[in-house]
Chain A
Amino acid sequence: MNPVVLTNVNKSYRLDAVRVPALRDISLEVRPDRFTVLCGPSGSGKTTLLNLMGCIDRPDSGAIVVADQPVATLSDDALSDFRARNFGFVFQNFNLIPVLTAFENIEYPLRLAGMATEQRQRRVREMLEAVGLADRADHLPGQLSGGQRQRVAVARALAPAPKLVLADEPTANLDSQTGAAIIALMRRMQREQHLSVVFSSHDPHVLAQADDAVFIQDGTITSIERRENRGGTQL
């Protein structure tokens, strides 16, 4: 089962009176247990594609199937519940909830998923251990460095064991060393937990880590490289 399948997807945005095409006739299958990298210059449509995959935006035309479920007909509430069950998001600006501690930030999506208290707290502690922040559990985001914040964001995205983790240039606001550490962390956790991760970036170091590389330009997929599986499930 592919975590996401897009068929002939089009998306445009309205800029004043003009419609600006963002994606044109996109068809893509994201394979399970793969570290997929969307690669392309700024404005190529990477983020729009991620938003559509993550069901936080709807296409103008075309079909999106997530975990064998067509999402076009889902109501807003149903789509919200669907996102809580199936996706983990890592954002460029970390997007942690500033009034919640690291522990609570990781716990939040587990609450939304309706996980029982004991199981939830155990899972949060596991994730904090996994990202090396067990001693920062009670820290607010404002008390953490950029790298630590992004590690909390990674733990938050991975905690509910989603079918697909979507990361939109998560290293763009980090220095190269910290960024490399985050990529390594995500890659390790993807392998350990057999996750499907879609990562948007134009960083060659990220691209080097990809199982599958999808190249986008001007809203169109120019090529897809299905590379040798470097730790995921063999097709």
Chain B
Amino acid sequence: MRSASIAVRNLLRNRRRSVTTLLAMIVGALAVLLFGGFSQMVKNGLETGFVRNSGHLQIQHRGYYLFGSGNPAAYGIRNYAGIIERVKADPVLAPMLTVVTPILQMGGIAGNFAAERSKTVFATGYVVAEQNRLHEWNDYRFPTTPLRSALTDSSPDAAVIGLGVARILELCAPLNIPDCPLPQDTSEQGGARMPPDIAALTGSEPQTKAQEQTRIELLVATAQGLPNVGELHVLKADSLGIKELDDVYVAMHLANAQHLVFGREPHQATAIILQLQHTSQIAVARARLQQLLDREFGEDKLEIQDFGALNPMYGQTITFFNTIFTFIALLIGVIVLFTVGNTMGTAVVERTVEIGTLRAMGLRRSGVRNLFVLEGLILGVVGAVLGLAASIAAASLINHAGVYWTPPGRVDRIPLTLYVLGANALLAGCALGLISVATLSAWLPARRAARLNIVEALRHV
């Protein structure tokens, strides 16, 4: 006949009330854990997407991040090949690295002479094989196949453009893009008529042959500040999930991009992407990389940008979800607080004579208080265990229901995967929260019970 046994029997005394209280806790745990699991999925999804595109760390020329976007001539990294070689050979960094690859980004004007359309664009040159390896990063084991670049095994002049660029340059038909409207009249046309002087730079007349219909011209400024035009063969138009990006995106082979900007001069890159095995390694890798750059490449005036700085949307989204999660958790906490408090308060009223009897027999005030607090604690523990079990079961059901969705900022549909099982911090936090709130909410009625006047308690009807 231990105190816990008495507490359990008292809880079973009014089964319906105890079950109702437990149900409130279970529903609360479900809400908190399923939303927590959903938030974790969004976080993991965003992180995976960003890490696949921009890596965990980037080495850039000092000032490029703030002032040099699209200006490779002023902010290029001359010795990028040497830096990559040194980074890959570093004994501290090497075990953490999955990919180290250069990219070149530049602004320009893309033109489709066949349709007499042009558009300012932001072009990226990358090493296709290494870009594909970047896309293989899957630390959270999303059940998806990594996307392969459309430039894989393509000719050196191949390019991939954004859906918006294709629409504006009137390349939808040649690229077989469905649901891609053409402008009805001139006033609705997104692209501008190509100026005659720029058209003259191409040295060619607008193409009319069907096989030439997917060719575009890209006008960029060379390292010397002169205009240069390259001809690109568009393989595909990709949607990047964000219209602003779709309207400016052009991707090509790194060598082709470098040739356009630097010609016969030594080629440069605007950034070196470092992708790590795990996001948690960023701090260590960054510190080591900074040490290496300071010691061996000080004259190159380089700086390091990390994953968070490169993708401010990631931090904003996480903050947004954390805020909602906190709000839901607080709301559930208050509901549980009042539900358990009400249950225990009613129990105190119902058991007033019993409290008086126990006190008359010699039970101290603390004994009475402990009895009711223990009942709240047991309610909390049972509610937490059942709530966690229900949440894990519900998450498992949802995860195996074959539901797919497209997260914000992505274009591919991924399985809806609620990260509940294995989210130990979330589970422990929820359980601890429920137990604490249940115990706390029992404390006030318990205190009231302990302070009852014995004579008045015995007289209670």
- Contacts from A to B (Cβ < 8 Å): 51, 54, 56-57, 76-77, 80-85, 87, 89, 91, 93, 95, 97-100, 104, 107-109, 111-113
Are A83 and B362 in contact (CB-based, < 8 A)?
A: yes
Contacting residues of chain B (45-87) with chain A, CB-CB under 8 angstroms: none
Cα A123 to Cα B138 in complex, Å, equals 69
* A77 proximity list for chain B (CB < 8 A): 364-366
The stretch from B161-169, B224-232, B353-361 touching chain A is B353-361
A-B contact count, CB below 8 Å?
68
The stretch from B6-14, B319-327, B337-345, B410-418 touching chain A is B6-14
Are B357 and A80 in contact (CB-based, < 8 A)?
A: no
B458 to A: closest C-beta gap in Å: 7
Once A98-B13, A107-B1 are accepted as A-B contacts, the answer to whether A80 and B353 lie under 8 Å apart by CB is: no
Cα A93 to Cα B354 in complex, Å, equals 11
Are B361 and A109 in contact (CB-based, < 8 A)?
A: yes
Once A93-B353, A95-B353 are accepted as A-B contacts, the answer to whether A84 and B10 lie under 8 Å apart by CB is: no
Once A57-B455, A111-B1 are accepted as A-B contacts, the answer to whether A98 and B363 lie under 8 Å apart by CB is: no
Are B360 and A83 in contact (CB-based, < 8 A)?
A: yes
* A51 proximity list for chain B (CB < 8 A): 454-455
* A83 proximity list for chain B (CB < 8 A): 360-362
B455 is contacted by which of A56, A82, A95, A97 (Cβ under 8 Å)? A56
List the 3 shortest-distance A-B pairs measured between CB atoms, nearest first: A84-B362, A99-B9, A95-B357
Number of interface residues of B (CB under 8 A): 22
Apart from A99-B6, A112-B362, what 13 extra A-B contacts exist at CB < 8 Å?
A56-B359, A57-B455, A80-B363, A83-B361, A85-B362, A87-B360, A89-B357, A95-B357, A97-B357, A99-B9, A99-B10, A99-B12, A112-B363
Are B10 and A112 in contact (CB-based, < 8 A)?
A: no
Once A57-B454, A57-B455 are accepted as A-B contacts, the answer to whether A97 and B354 lie under 8 Å apart by CB is: yes
Are B361 and A104 in contact (CB-based, < 8 A)?
A: no
* B356 proximity list for chain A (CB < 8 A): 95
* A113 proximity list for chain B (CB < 8 A): 362
B448 to A: closest C-beta gap in Å: 16
24 sampled A-B residue pairs with Cβ under 8 A? A51-B454, A56-B359, A56-B454, A57-B455, A77-B366, A80-B359, A80-B362, A83-B361, A83-B362, A85-B362, A87-B362, A89-B357, A91-B357, A93-B353, A95-B353, A95-B357, A99-B10, A99-B12, A100-B9, A108-B1, A109-B361, A109-B362, A112-B361, A112-B363
B383-408 contact mask (Cβ, 8 Å, vs A): 1 or 0: 00000000000000000000000000
* A99 proximity list for chain B (CB < 8 A): 6, 9-10, 12-13
B363-376 contact mask (Cβ, 8 Å, vs A): 1 or 0: 11110000000000
B354 is contacted by which of A54, A95, A111 (Cβ under 8 Å)? A95
Cα A56 to Cα B457 in complex, Å, equals 11
Cα A83 to Cα B361 in complex, Å, equals 6
* A100 proximity list for chain B (CB < 8 A): 1, 6, 9
Cα A56 to Cα B452 in complex, Å, equals 12
* B6 proximity list for chain A (CB < 8 A): 97, 99-100
